[in-house]
Amino acid sequence: MSLFFIVALPFLGALLPGLMNGAGRAACAGVTFTVSLAAFLGLMTNLPSVLAGEVVMARVDWMPVLGLNFTLMLDGLGFFFAMLILGIGLLIIAYARHYLARGDNMGEFFTYLLLFQGAMVGIVLSDNILLLLVFWELTSLSSFLLIGYWKHLPEGRQGARMALTVTGMGGLAMIGGMLILGQIVGSYDLSVILQNRELIQADPMYVPALILILLGCFTKSAQFPFHFWLPHAMAAPTPVSAYLHSATMVKAGIFLMARMWPVLSGTPEWFVIVTSAGLITMVLGALIAIFKHDLKALLAFSTVSHLGLITMLLGTGTAFGAMAAVFHILNHATFKAALFMSAGIVDHETHTRDIRRLGGLRTLMPITFGIVTIAALSMAGIPFLNGFLSKEMMLEETTHTTLFGIWWLVPALATFGSLLSAAYCFRLIGHTFLGPVRDNYPSKPHDPGFGLWGPPAFLVVLVVVIGVAPFLAEPFVKLVTASLLGGEAEVPKAYFKIWHGLVPALFMSVAAVVGGLLLMGVFKPLLRVWESTPRPEAKVIFEGLIEAAAALARRFIHTLHNGAFTRYAMIGSVAIIALGLHAWSTGTVGAPTRDPQSASVVAIAGWAMLVAATGGLVVMHRNRLLSLILIGIVGLMVSIGFVFLSAPDLAMTQFTVEVVTIILLLLALNFLPNRTPIESTVLRRVRDAGVAVAGGLATFALAYHYLLRDAVSTPISEFHLANSYKGGGGTNVVNVILVDFRGFDTYGEIIVLGIAALLIYALTETLLSGPVRARLLNRLPDQPRAGDMHPMMMVVLTRVIMPVVLMVGFYIFLRGHNEPGGGFIAGLIVSIAVVMQYMASGFAWTSSRLRYPYHGVIGAGVLIAGFTGIGSWFVGKPFLTSDFTYVRIPPFEKFELATAALFDLGVFLAVVGAVMLSLESFSRLAHRAQDKDSEHPMDIDPSRDDPPEDQPKPVTEGV
Amino acid sequence: MELLVASAIGIMTAGGLYLVLRLRTFPVILGMSLLTYAVNVFLFASGRLTIGAPPILRDGVEIYTDPLPQALVLTAIVISFGMTAVVVMISLGAFLGSDDDHVDDLLEEEVTSAEGTP
């Protein structure tokens, strides 16, 4: 089966358990099992090639420019790990089917489990280190979901968070390390990297890369000082602990160290860091494990200890050490997963995992007792069980390892670690199963059904088989070792056998087992000593660090982001001005290439009005109504300036936008105070004025220099001018650019405009449904109301004008392609025509006569524009390619039909909809409770006999 | 002519900046509108100034002004309307919700002192 399928199957299969949830627990577990089994069998189809020593590859270029390719590789090492992941996965799924309680959502659990499985398989089969990183992060995420599966338990949530934080940070470090590695080699493909040992180790960036990658590995594999998260992750359901925290995820770090072994190992840095971290973890983990009363905590720390052992073996950098590591990975996966599952059985049957409340289960749960005994004795290193063999090899390796120049350091610590390890294994058996039967178990214990004990029993069979007949596992372990070594060293010749003769390792082993037994003999006094010695509590330290980091971030943010927007504006303006000044003073300015044009009297007069209006606006801005009039003058002058400077389209747009903006601001001013009070000090105003003048001078200088020099290279506009008629069929180049050359931009812009209008609508809805509504309804006008709010003259005038304006809009729209005009301007003109009706006859009267919701108009506009663009696909052209033709219908002259006109229609509709929706939203706010909706278009109508009852009385005060 | 346009841009920028630095929402919105004018005119002027040569193709006419900045500014004008409308709505909502049209959040000590006074 293709490697892609093996990786993809769990991910695709992850969709199924959720779907099968309703079909019952057996179906749910069954489909998960089937998916895993399919992947497992797919892996097995590749076994012959792997046994033949081939490397199976599968490759799809993903982002070749970035060096990120979907490349998969299956060699001995990858096969070994993939087999562990999928094989133990099958057992775990079978076990979890019976373990999970009825109340647990099984579909959710198996979905997470398959996601995790896929990510793990992805890690071990990746040939591209960037791809590997992606899968690496996915395991962190999916394990977060699995650890926190019991969401109602605070320990579960905290443990999940802690695991994610620690492994996530390690993952970040590893990204850095991998990127450095890729930079050194010039390729992100693992197969290439593995060929470049000398290049990598000679590079000055080797040490940083090594440290960063090891940070990732150590956090994932719970090596000291990052070992603390693993015991807390034990809040997960037991199948998760057995799967993630004994057999697979915590082995990911080990896997990566093994994978990178050919290129990273063998240097003093590697040796010192990896060996000492492994050694410390091994001893420390074992020591803590002895004194844990929780079965799973004991197993968790023992896992930490064994991971340390494997790490240490990889750290030695010898081929024999690597082989011992591979063998121990296999053995540890078998006995530790069995132990975890057995711990789950004990928990499941007795409802406690506290060793102090157990004991004497030997006769009550004989099958579980048998499984645990074999697995634990294997872990303790008793002959004829597989743990003995790899531990023997480990001790053998340590006798050749000299750390810090002290020959006895490593062997002594390793023996001590083994001693502690034997001790907790004996305690596990003795304190749980041996001893007198108690009468106060939380629940009456008995052996579970086959579904629960079958999977661990299967593993225990493997434990015994490998232990008795190690030659069966030998070829496979050597094959894996060979692929781990990657040709950098010879596979050791040593045979796997139980009896090696009276070698030092044997004596060390005997010492460890005997010492472990003795230690158990004095367990009670030792426990008292242990409990009275103060120890640093990793969780407290971790939470303290997190809290400190959060406090630091809060302080930092509150200092920078204190809610004073004026300050941000000030800092931003000053910074931009300073940057401009810096560029100005360090850059060079060429000589002017354009002659200044003379200004006519009219231009000077317009300029003077603009300046006067701007100045007046600044000086009199406290009177808000006046400042609106003044800014209207500024806008008008800008529009006239556009006319003057050959931009008729701009002038029309600016002018119409000006009208709707002023109406909008007037509507807003209806609610806001009429005056801006004086609040700032004189000093502050002087300071602001200083900044403003500096900014003004800067833009003036920039614009002035700009205007007197030609562009450095020929502008693209020449192309537009040359092709507007030929290619776009229009003589108004601005419009052709909008609807044709840069139609995609315009399309984006009408969408933005539509979104802005919808946002305004949504805000209005929120305001009107909240507490503001009552205030708005009972608001008293702060100005005397006009007696004639909908005057007859205005009503009549706007009615008369309406068809004229619509016709003008239509005309402007149609001629837009060839003369100034187009969808934008026509849209604005039509909007103004409608707004006038609102102004003349009031909101209620007008909106009850409008049949089209403005949202729909926006949507129709965007859709029409979009479909016009899509239409070009049908003739095999890219999106928004326009076409045009000339037709002649007899009574009329020849005229042009262009798809661009259809696009412009979309623009037109979107603009009308957006403008009207914005203004309508504002008007809705103005509706008050005491306003009766009049059914008449005007207040005073001579043709009407009955004066309306709700006619407001003329207000006399203030006259 | 160039001097007039450049100085107009400068003056509108200065006025806009000053108003943006005010403490109440309404002048800030006006300031942003002024800045919008300045920016639009500046962008437009990047096509350099040409009098009496609109980019409408005519037979026999050879000189046209640069159409591209015009097209860009045209959409900018319409979009700036949308932006102004949103900002006005937000400031209006803030004012209606809290009866306060200050731009800045009150600092904590000011809040406590304001609560302390009857």
SS (H, E, C) A98-159: HHCCCCCCHHHHHHHHHHHHHHHHHHHHECEHHHHHHHHHHHHHHHHHHHCCCCCCHHHHHH
Query: Chain A: residue nearest B9 by CA?
Result: A700
Q: Is B67 on the interface with A (CB under 8 A)?
A: yes
Residue A732's DSSP bridge partners are B56
What CATH number is associated with residue B32?
1.10.287
Find chain B residues with C-beta within 8 A of A724's C-beta.
57, 67
Res A628: pLDDT: 92
H helix runs in A770-898, sequence order = 772-777, 792-815, 823-841, 843-847, 854-874
Distance of CA A842 to the CA centre of its chain: 49
Which among B3, B19, B25, B89 is the top mutation candidate for probing chain A, defined by the most A β-carbons within 10 Å of its own β-carbon?
Answer: B89
- As a whole number of angstroms, the distance between CA A159 and CA B6 comes to 64
Predicted confidence at residue A945, as pLDDT, reads: 65
Residues of A in contact with B79 (CB under 8 A): 749, 752-753, 756
Tokens encoding A276: 């000492």
Is any Cβ of chain A less than 8 angstroms from the Cβ of B94?
no
The answer to whether residue B35 scores a pLDDT higher than 90 is yes
Sign of the Cα pseudo-torsion (A343, A348, A349, A350, in order): positive
Task: Decide: A801 and A834 in contact? Cβ < 8 Å.
Answer: no
pLDDT computed for residue B114 by the predictor = 47
Closest partner residue to B68 among A699, A717, A771, by Cβ? Answer: A717
Residue ranges, chain A, pLDDT below 50? 955-959
Q: Which residues of A touch B45 (CB under 8 A)?
A: 703, 706-707
Q: Does the distance separating the beta carbons of B21 and A569 come in below 8 Å? A: yes
Contacts of A865 in chain B (CB under 8 A): none
The Cβ-side half-sphere exposure at A751, using a 13 Å CA radius, reads: 10
Provide the domain count of chain B.
Answer: 1
CA distances from A957 to A97, A326, A786, A790, A953 (A): 84, 98, 12, 20, 12
Helix (H) or strand (E) holding A887: strand A884-887
Task: For chain A, say whether B35 makes contact (Cβ under 8 Å).
Answer: no
Q: Do residues A661 and B88 lie in contact, with contact meaning Cβ atoms separated by under 8 Å?
A: no
Q: Which of A628, A704, A733 sits opposite B67 (nearest CB)?
A: A733
Q: Which residues of A touch B7 (CB under 8 A)?
A: 607, 611, 700, 704
Task: Say which of A599, A766, A918 has its CB closest to residue B4.
Answer: A599
Q: Does B63 touch chain A (CB under 8 A)?
A: no
pLDDT (tens digit, 9 = 90+) per residue, A232-266?
A: 888 888 888 888 877 788 888 899 998 888 888 88
Helix (H, G, I), strand (E, B) or coil at A896: strand
Residue numbers of the domain that contains B85: 2-116
Residue A618 has its nearest CB partner, among B3, B15, B46, at B15
Q: Is B7 on the interface with A (CB under 8 A)?
A: yes
Pseudo-torsion of CA A81, A87, A88, A90, nearest 10°?
A: 140
* B25 in contact with chain A, both atoms CB, cutoff 8 A: yes
For residue A920, list chain B residues with Cβ-Cβ distance below 8 A: none
- DSSP-derived letter for residue A934 is P
Q: Which of B21, B45, B52 sits opposite A688 (nearest CB)?
A: B21
Assess contact for A468 and A383: CB atoms under 8 A: no
CB contact under 8 A, B5 and A707: yes
Q: What are phi and psi of A266, to 5 degrees?
A: 95, -10
Structure tokens at A703: 């614009």
Find the CB nearest A704 among B3, B19, B70: B3
Tens-digit pLDDT profile for residues A442-484: 777 777 888 788 888 988 898 888 888 888 888 888 888 888 8
* pLDDT at A933 (0 to 100): 66
B105 in reach of chain A (CB within 8 A): yes
- pLDDT-derived band at B116 (thresholds 50, 70, 90) equals very low
* pLDDT at site A931: 65
Rounded CA-CA distance A932/A954 in Å is 16
Q: How many CB atoms lie within 10 A of CB A393?
A: 23
